[in-house]
Amino acid sequence: MMTGRNFTRVAAVLAGLGLISAELVGQDKIAIKGRHVAAAERIIGLDFTRSERKLLLPDLVDHRQSYAALRDLQLPNSVVPALQFNPLLPGQVIDTEQRPIVWSPVEATRPVDLDDLAWHSVAQLGALIRNREITSRELTEFFLNRLRRYDAQLLAVVTLTEELALAQADRADREIAAGNYRGPLHGIPYGAKDLLAAKGYLTTWGAEPYKEQILEENAAVIDKLEAAGAVLVAKLSLGALAWGDVWFGGMTRNPWNTDQGSSGSSAGPASAVAAGLVPFAIGSETWGSIVSPATRTGVTGLRPTYGRVSRSGAMALSWSMDKLGPICREVEDCAIIFDAIRGPSGTADADPSVVDLPFNYHHQIDLSALRIGYYQSAFEHDYSNKANDAAVLETLRGLGAELIPMELPDYPVSDISFVLSAEAAAAFDDLTLSGRDDLLVRQIEKAWPNVFRAARFIPAVEYIQANRARRQLMQKMAVVMDGFDVYLSPSFGGSNLLLTNLTGHPCVVLPNGFNEEGAPTSITFMGRLYDEATLLAVARAYQQATRWHKQHPPAFK
């Protein structure tokens, strides 16, 4: 049974909501009466009769005893629910044949001013290492020095992994010297959002209650990048438990304006990449956590299809919505990294959602042969980035694309969003029941402690109903996507961001200009389920026709 502070805390919440009398707080047993049921009905919008309430009482007592027993199990964050989300509907056909990947040709020479390395693409740095114009050790020390030099301004670093990084770099140099070249990420430094476990190092989830946490395992993504020869130089900040840009070390800053946060929750990865402190980083998105910081800091991010990248060893926030993806300065860099991290980490991968499917990227693509849509009502709406977004459409038309107006399903998408709150509250229920949620920095209405408590009053039936509605939304979205290979949306236009995070569709967000205040703006390219190859190739075609990704924050050059 639930005892002590846990019981008192829950009882106090119930008393505050009028569900029990204040004098009962702290007692081991609280009698459930008809008036308590009536009060609960008001919270969730029901209206039973007096006789119906009376019949309910024994079942409610039994349920409460079961709840208490379940709480005593102390389920860790890593335990996955038996229920599993699958974005693929019955009858949908996807490509299952892996063909050779064709990267764009890369030319790179060692710069006279080594500070220029901060702005080289991953592909360029890979060419320098492959041609032995620079060593991984030299490159790793270069980025470690930039991380040390600039992090006081940005607060993007939770932990430098210097000892591991130098050992990985030295190993890469030995292997390359011996003719054992692993591929375009061999010897390339990178940073990881600090919700990814790295054995022997802190994995804090950006939150005070976990600031001393060490998980003695590697996340699957960390293992895959190590297998590709990449070098982990830093664990980077995230807003506490993946919300916003405020963590226990402060607010991570936007390199374009250090008076401003970098947005979140992939705050550190976006900030560090934008400032040239790492060539790339791994972020995550549940509902905008790659799109939003990438927009704020002017970098490029890929949110893959749900299930494309294993989340084993990553903090769980929403088992049915969490996705891991790369944050870079160029689209093709995202493709290179995605190719390295996609799929399960082995036969015993702990993420039951992960799938092993091909990635048939080719850097050359005929835009005129594709069905490319644009979210018409969102583009026509009066909003702040309208001119820059309209210019993207004109650029694509100039590249030969025929753009077709389209609309997303007319559906109450926002009314399904509490699925995230319910799953997040379950993932961190121990914080709510123990009172350790008081340790989180942000204690306001729109922050996790309050959301976790409020989610306690989401009925299980409504959670299931929301997921049934989600299935219907997926079916409607499948009809829309049947007519398109790719479509464009303003990054925060209409229902696109939430809708596609619920349906699991992939997106690429990339810079498309600056606003009147000199801040970066972005556009979002959306793709079909599991077709990151076409999505990335189309986004790259646009990016190669512009120079927005080549502009960098002046204070960090």
Q: pLDDT-based confidence at 11, cuts 50/70/90?
A: low
Report how far Cα 301 is from the mean position of its chain's Cα atoms.
10
Burial of 467 by CB count in 10 Å (0-12 exposed, 13-18 middle, 19+ buried)?
Answer: middle
Element (H, E) at 54: helix 50-71
Contact partners, residue 76, CB within 8 Å, separation at least 6: none
Tell whether the torsion through CA atoms of 277, 508, 101 and 367 is positive or negative: negative
**324 touches 341 (CB < 8 A):** yes
Please tell me the predicted confidence (pLDDT) of residue 24: 44
What's the length of the chain? 557
For the segment 253-272, the average pLDDT, to the nearest whole number, is 98
Q: What is the pTM of this model?
A: 0.94
Closest CA to 484 of 404, 368, 367, 378: 404
CA distance 132 to 153: 33
Closest CA to 218 of 321, 350, 306: 350
For the segment 378-387, the average pLDDT, to the nearest whole number, is 97
| Domain boundaries for CATH 3.90.1300.10 within the chain | 114-358+365-411+468-556
Contact partners, residue 63, CB within 8 Å, separation at least 6: none
Q: pLDDT-based confidence at 457, cuts 50/70/90?
A: very high
- State both tokens at 510: 């990339």
Instruction: Give, in degrees to the nearest 5, the angle at Cα 326 between 322 and 328.
Output: 145
Please tell me the predicted confidence (pLDDT) of residue 379: 98
CA distance 60 to 127: 65
CA distance 195 to 316: 9
CA distance 225 to 256: 29
Q: pLDDT-based confidence at 74, cuts 50/70/90?
A: confident
**Which DSSP category does 373 fall into?**
E
Tell whether the torsion through CA atoms of 136, 137, 143 and 144 is positive or negative: positive
Per-residue pLDDT of 502-523, as tens digits, reads 999 999 999 999 999 999 999 9
Q: pLDDT-based confidence at 347, cuts 50/70/90?
A: confident
Report how far Cα 106 is from the mean position of its chain's Cα atoms.
29
Paired residues of 231 in beta bridges: 189
CB atoms near residue 510 (< 10 Å)? 29
CATH topology of domain 114-358+365-411+468-556: Amidase signature (AS) enzymes (3.90.1300)
Report how far Cα 433 is from the mean position of its chain's Cα atoms.
26
**107 touches 128 (CB < 8 A):** no
Closest CA to 125 of 141, 106, 144: 106
